Chain A
Amino acid sequence: MVFEYPVQGGDFTNAGTVSSKVKKMMRQLGVDAGVIKRTIVALYEAEVNIVAHAYKGVITVQLDSDKIYIKLDDEGPGIPDINQAMQRGYSTASPEVREMGFGAGMGLPNIKANSDVLEVHSVVGKGTTVEITNNF
């Protein structure tokens, strides 16, 4: 089963709606609560990254009887150095933004910790693709 959800950059009020829908479906399938939780944390952080850093994006969710595969494709500035972006605490957020409590640089590390397989690809000036796979 494949589902597609559009995401709008800058639309913080709706960040999390895709996570809610995916959570509900995983529950209907009877997926283990721990796996649901990991998946939702990863998806939520990745969804927020599109909202915070990109212009717009599409989330594709593929549900199978043994795994969930999620692809987050965005049009945006891209990430110049992915290894660096993956470090805990690394963020391009300005000091003012950090002052407000945003941009802890924990999003990507959290996604990593909560996915079985994670792939991040990016082209500067074009966009970023994040792929998450979690096995049931």
Chain B
Amino acid sequence: MEAQESFHHALKFKYDLCIGCSHCTECCPTAAIHIENGRPVLDDNRCIDCGHCYLACPVHAIYIEQDDFQTIYNYKVPVLLCPSIFGSQFPDKVKEKDIVAAVADLGFRHIYEVEQSVDVIKQLLSKKMQDPDRGMPVISSFCPAIVRLIQVKFPSLVGNLMLTKPPLDLTALYIKKHLVETQGVAPEDIGIFYVAPCAAKIAAVKSPVGDEKSPIDGVINMNYLYNKVLRRIKQGDCPPPPADLRMNILSKDALLWALTDGEISLLKKGRNLAIDDVHNVSTFLEKLENEDIDDIDFLELRACDQSCAGGILCANNRFLIVEKQKYRAEKSPAEVTVKENGLLADADYLDKHSKVGKVEPRSMDKLDNDISVAMRKMEKSISINKHLPQIDCRMCGYQSCKEFSLAVGSEKTDIKRCVFIQRILEQNARLSTEEALQIAYQIWGTDKFNPDNIADLAIE
């Protein structure tokens, strides 16, 4: 059975800002975007929320949905849950205590770092790797864009995904339990707000893959909070935060977890690889699927270059984040005790709640549910593609000649959208200039064809 309902996406388009340039169409690793009427159209079943389009858009017409900051005040005990790289966004002059004070002043009652549960997760990981029936290779499910990439593009590898909750979910579970049990806070008074470094994490919170409901109550974009906190710090005179509002001490391993090599450096045995950047990951999985590579025990795969330090919502340069994060790790203890990290006392509880449900494959390639219909569409696409020029100019509004041929073969669009086919038809008087223009309007809208556009140009 394949999951039917489509993914929730955190990436949205601001159509009023969009200039219809199709850069987003070009860079998408799953060819999820095509252009219609001068605007991008997203295929919800293909998009993996990797955020490449967000980076490619020249006019910031793509944004990442987040919750209204004001919703933190709906809770008596608003809790900020940030990835540890949040601290590495700031200029060196800004100290941890300044960040904490500003966070308190913004209205948060507690601050926790996501990786607090890494010290529990690393036990689960080594237990998993000792299991003789684990299958080869085990693929980390830490990066949600990768989990989705595997679902849509490499469905045969879905069974290799490690079905353990990521640090975010486990730390959030701990926070709720801890505040309820030790401080007598009513569960409904606790609002956990997650500071997201990327769109994929937000999408995963809003519709968890293979899971029921996320323990997170709201999300805030990391660059948004960074601006807010930095501004508050620059205004000066932040009152000192309450004594129990402080960062916990994290272990070295925990601080390095979200960087490239973070997971595999904990595995002492076997062949374990870390690969970052979604294109690198795709190339590797393609090879893996053909059984070209055997004997690999564990794969740490991340969609962003430099892993989460390269998250699209980071405020600082990825290499500077890595540097800063490693510096902090160097000064941190190799192991922390339950005194420093209270979460360790609840290790058994978290262990019990660490499993996620089954992840379903949802192949994006399938042309039809009926195989003979799929066959017909495929045949048609292949023959169409043979007659296309293969220059991938995107004038048809699709990413490539190949993608366009699939859309035509599946009767989703018209072959006449190809400008080369149009020229041939015009040559044979089978298409009028007016008709060709109408097709161009359908794809690119009318603005780009306004005669005024050439008024100032001295065209002979």
Interface membership of chain A positions 10-50, coded 1 if the CB is closer than 8 angstroms to chain B and 0 otherwise: 00000010011001110111110100110011001000000
Interface membership of chain A positions 52-88, coded 1 if the CB is closer than 8 angstroms to chain B and 0 otherwise: 0000000000011110000000000000000000000
Q: Known contacts being A28-B366, A30-B363, A30-B366, is A40 close to B375, with CB within 8 Å?
A: no
For A1, A28, A33, the residue with the greatest tally of chain B CB atoms inside 10 Å of its CB is: A28
Q: Is B183 an interface residue (CB 8 A)?
A: no
B371 close to A136 (CB less than 8 A): yes
Q: Known contacts being A29-B374, A136-B371, is A1 close to B365, with CB within 8 Å?
A: no
CB within 8 Å of A: which B364-393 residues? 365-369, 371-372, 374-375, 378-379, 382
A29 close to B291 (CB less than 8 A): no
**Neighbouring B residues of A23 by C-beta, 8 Å:** 289-290
**Neighbouring A residues of B367 by C-beta, 8 Å:** 28-30
Q: Known contacts being A28-B367, A30-B363, A33-B156, is A1 close to B379, with CB within 8 Å?
A: yes
> In the assembly, what is the distance between CA of A37 and CA of B367, in Å?
19
A25 close to B378 (CB less than 8 A): yes
CB within 8 Å of A: which B239-296 residues? 286-287, 289-292
Tell me how many residues of B have a C-beta within 8 Å of chain A.
Answer: 22
Per a CB cutoff under 8 Å, which of A27, A44, A66 touches B365?
A: A27
> In the assembly, what is the distance between CA of A136 and CA of B371, in Å?
10
Q: Is B155 an interface residue (CB 8 A)?
A: yes
Closest chain B residue, CB of each to CB of A17: B290
**Neighbouring A residues of B379 by C-beta, 8 Å:** 1
Q: Is B361 an interface residue (CB 8 A)?
A: yes
**Neighbouring B residues of A40 by C-beta, 8 Å:** 289-291
Closest chain A residue, CB of each to CB of B381: A28
**Neighbouring B residues of A19 by C-beta, 8 Å:** 290
Per a CB cutoff under 8 Å, which of A25, A44, A65 touches B290?
A: A44
Q: Known contacts being A36-B156, A65-B372, is A16 close to B363, with CB within 8 Å?
A: no
B378 close to A1 (CB less than 8 A): yes
Tell me how many residues of A have a C-beta within 8 Å of chain B.
Answer: 23
Closest chain A residue, CB of each to CB of B364: A27
Smallest CB–CB gap between B134 and chain A, Å? Answer: 18
B291 close to A41 (CB less than 8 A): yes
A65 close to B289 (CB less than 8 A): no
B287 close to A24 (CB less than 8 A): no
B375 close to A29 (CB less than 8 A): yes
For A1, A30, A31, the residue with the greatest tally of chain B CB atoms inside 10 Å of its CB is: A30
* Majority secondary structure of chain A interface residues (helix, strand, loop or mixed): helix
**Neighbouring B residues of A29 by C-beta, 8 Å:** 366-367, 371, 374-375, 378
Closest chain B residue, CB of each to CB of A22: B290
Q: Known contacts being A23-B290, A29-B375, A65-B371, is A37 close to B366, with CB within 8 Å?
A: no
Smallest CB–CB gap between B149 and chain A, Å? Answer: 14
Q: Known contacts being A1-B379, A28-B367, A40-B290, is A33 close to B155, with CB within 8 Å?
A: yes
B371 close to A44 (CB less than 8 A): no
Closest chain B residue, CB of each to CB of A27: B365
Smallest CB–CB gap between A3 and chain B, Å? Answer: 9
**Neighbouring A residues of B382 by C-beta, 8 Å:** 1
> In the assembly, what is the distance between CA of A27 and CA of B287, in Å?
16
> In the assembly, what is the distance between CA of A136 and CA of B375, in Å?
13
**Neighbouring B residues of A65 by C-beta, 8 Å:** 371-372, 375
Smallest CB–CB gap between B2 and chain A, Å? Answer: 10
Smallest CB–CB gap between A37 and chain B, Å? Answer: 5
A28 close to B365 (CB less than 8 A): yes
**Neighbouring B residues of A66 by C-beta, 8 Å:** 371
Q: Known contacts being A37-B156, A44-B290, A44-B292, is A27 close to B363, with CB within 8 Å?
A: yes
> In the assembly, what is the distance between CA of A44 and CA of B286, in Å?
13
Contact residues of A with B, CB < 8 Å? 1, 16, 19-20, 23-25, 27-31, 33, 36-37, 40-41, 44, 63-66, 136
Q: List 20 A-B contacts (CB under 8 A).
A: A1-B375, A1-B378, A23-B289, A27-B155, A27-B366, A29-B366, A29-B371, A29-B374, A29-B375, A30-B366, A30-B368, A33-B156, A36-B156, A37-B156, A41-B291, A63-B375, A65-B371, A65-B372, A65-B375, A66-B371
Ranked nearest first, the 3 interchain pairs of A and B with the lowest CB-CB distance are A27-B365, A30-B366, A65-B372
| Extra A-B contacts (14), CB below 8 Å, given A30-B371, A41-B291 | A16-B292, A20-B290, A24-B365, A27-B155, A27-B366, A28-B365, A29-B367, A29-B378, A30-B366, A30-B374, A31-B371, A40-B289, A40-B290, A44-B291
